Amino acid sequence: MIGGIPRERKAEPVGFRWRLYSQDERGFFILKQVLNIRSISVISVLGALGAVLMLFDFPIAIAPIFYKLDLGDLPCLIGAFALGPVPALFIQIVKIIVKLLLKPTSTAFVGEMAAFICSSALTVTAGFVYSKKKNKENAVKGMILGTLIMSIVATAANYLFIIPAYVQMFHMPLEAIIGMGHEIFPAVTDKFSFVLCCVLPFNLIKAAIVDVLTFILYKHISPLIKA
């Protein structure tokens, strides 16, 4: 009891300690979040695993060859469910840093920045939704919403700055990129139809694969993270 107001105690989520305490006699409360050593270790391991998985990338038939699919988001999404949305963001940061140490950028950091933005949209969104009520239904809702947001963000980012950046830095004519898309989908005739027909479905498929694998593996892996 502080100043007539009872101190509130809440359960501590895995990896983070939450403390609520009175700020002054008027009863204002402040929230303190402390990252502990164990959570830092888990974030580091999951981020490093995601970086390794990023190295094993491959093209798929619905997009030009320079769009490559990898499973680097799988450990990140598992971490988002086990630890929460904020640790998921840290896992993404570790993943990109370790990936750059293992394999230096070949895209002047454009590819890495795009991967960070798009992947964070998936994992942070899914982790946030799941953290509200941790059950299977919310996990599915989080993955679906995260997939949609990631796909929209990736499509917009490609249209606004990723494709223009490749054109500018690598002197790749925009017409050549559109031509690659046209060979796959004849409906591709300009940059907008390119991102709509190639980039959007590519990211939907990538996120869906990660979602399904996470749904299958999470209950087997989460006890190791929470142990």
pTM of the full predicted structure?
0.81
User: What are the pLDDT digits (tens) for 114-159?
Assistant: 999 999 999 999 999 999 999 999 999 999 999 999 999 999 999 9
The CATH class of 38-226 is: mainly alpha
32, pLDDT greater than 90: no
Residues of the chain with pLDDT > 90, as a percent, come to: 70
Distance between CA atoms of residues 12 and 114, nearest Å: 33
Domain residue ranges of the chain, discontinuous segments joined by +:
1-35, 38-226
pLDDT recorded at residue 35: 58
Helix (H) or strand (E) holding 19: strand 16-22
Least confident of 13-22, 46-55, 150-159, 161-170: 13-22
C-alpha distance from residue 217 to each of 75, 77, 103, 163 (Å)? 10, 11, 27, 34
pLDDT recorded at residue 6: 44
Per the prediction, the chain carries an average pLDDT of 86
